[in-house]
Amino acid sequence: MQTNWKITNIVFNDNTLISAHYFASLSDDKNTVETQGEWKFLEPRNKVPFNELEERYIIQWIEEEASKDGSNIIKSNLEQQLQALNSEKSILPWVKPTFKPNIGL
């Protein structure tokens, strides 16, 4: 499964990319899960001039910063949501199941 990304907005100040608003989705044969958010970059992103900036660069930077020990938190959460949708059964047949996050603190 591949995560589909879309950058919906960026905040750029003094030739530095400060943050990016993103939309990400993951699908299988039956379901699609989606998330959106704002990623505030930990490291200054001023390696590419604004007029040469491409969406793929921003997606790559978000993926890099959102990864720890080889796992990307955004992608991992989407995968968990998709697995939950495929395994949970609704009590009422007309009510779609909702994702209940498992937050380990």
For residue range 6-17, list pLDDT tens digits in order: 999 999 888 889
Distance, CA of 104 to CA of 79 (rounded, Å):
16
Could you tell me how far CA 65 lies from the centroid of its own chain? 12
For residue range 35-66, list pLDDT tens digits in order: 999 999 998 777 778 888 899 999 999 999 99
Backbone angles phi, psi at 43, to 5 degrees: -105, 140
Distance, CA of 72 to CA of 64 (rounded, Å):
8
Q: What is the mean pLDDT of the chain?
A: 87
- What is the bridge-based pairing of β-strands 67-68 and 16-27? unpaired
Distance, CA of 95 to CA of 101 (rounded, Å):
18
Using the predicted structure, report yes or no on whether residue 34 has a pLDDT greater than 80.
Answer: yes
For residue range 71-104, list pLDDT tens digits in order: 999 999 999 999 988 886 667 777 776 666 666 5
